[in-house]
Chain A
Amino acid sequence: DAGITQSPRHKVTETGTPVTLRCHQTENHRYMYWYRQDPGHGLRLIHYSYGVKDTDKGEVSDGYSVSRSKTEDFLLTLESATSSQTSVYFCAIRGNYGYTFGSGTRLTVV
C-alpha cells in the first residue's frame, strides 16, 4: 500500500481564519481526493485531483479550494473557516489495488 499522511491530525481554529490541511503520498499515484465525514452524512467528496494542477469539484466544494503543485502533495484550504466546516477530513489516493485513506484530520472551528 502507498503511504499517505495527513497533517495536522487535530486542529482548533477560529471562525473567519484561513486553514490549510495537507495530504502527502509517498508514491506517484495520479488521483487524490479530499472528503469530509459528518454524522448522518457519511463521506462527502469536496475536491479531487487527477494530476498535477488538474483538479475538480466534488459535491460539497463551497468554501474550499485545493492545490496540487506536485504529485505527492494535495492541499485543502478553507478560505474563511465557519462553524459548519467543523468535521473530520480524510484524504484518499487511488492506488494500484484500490483506494487508500489517510487517518483523518479532526478540525474544530470555534
Chain B
Amino acid sequence: TQLLEQSPQFLSIQEGENLTVYCNSSSVFSSLQWYRQEPGEGPVLLVTVVTGGEVKKLKRLTFQFGDARKDSSLHITAAQPGDTGLYLCAGLLGTQGGSEKLVFGKGTKLTVNP
C-alpha cells in the first residue's frame, strides 16, 4: 500500500510552460518534504513544509502543504530545461525522539523540452 500518491508519474512539457505536481495521502504527516533527483545520484532536499496551509517559494518553485497536513503540491512557473529531473515528495511519520521515518511517493519524472 502506497501511503503517498504522487501524480502525474510522467510529465513532458515545453520550456516556458507551468506545471503542478500533486502528493496526496489519507495519513497526517509531521512534515512534508520535496526532493529532486538526478540520474545516478541520491535525492536532494528542496524544501520542508511543516505547518498546515504553509506556502514556500524557491525562485520559480512554489510548495504548498494542505491545511490538514495530508497533501502537498509543487508548482513550477515558466519551466526551463534545467528543471528536468525526478521530483519526489516524502512525508515524515512518527515523533521526534522516537522511531521517526520518512516515506516517499513514487515520484514524477519531469522533462522540459527546449
Contact = CB atoms under 8 A, between A and B. Distances in A.
Contact of B45 (A56, A99, A103, A104): A99
B102 interface: yes
Interface string B71-103: 000000000000000001010000000111111
B33 A98 contact: yes
Interface stretch (A43-51, A64-72, A74-82): A43-51
Which bracket fits the contact residues of A? 20 to 34
B104 A99 contact: no
Contacts, number: 55
Interface residues of B, number: 21
B101 A33 contact: yes
Contacts of B88: 42-43
A48 B101 contact: yes
A71 B97 CA distance: 16
A90 B40 CA distance: 11
Contact of B41 (A31, A99, A103): A103
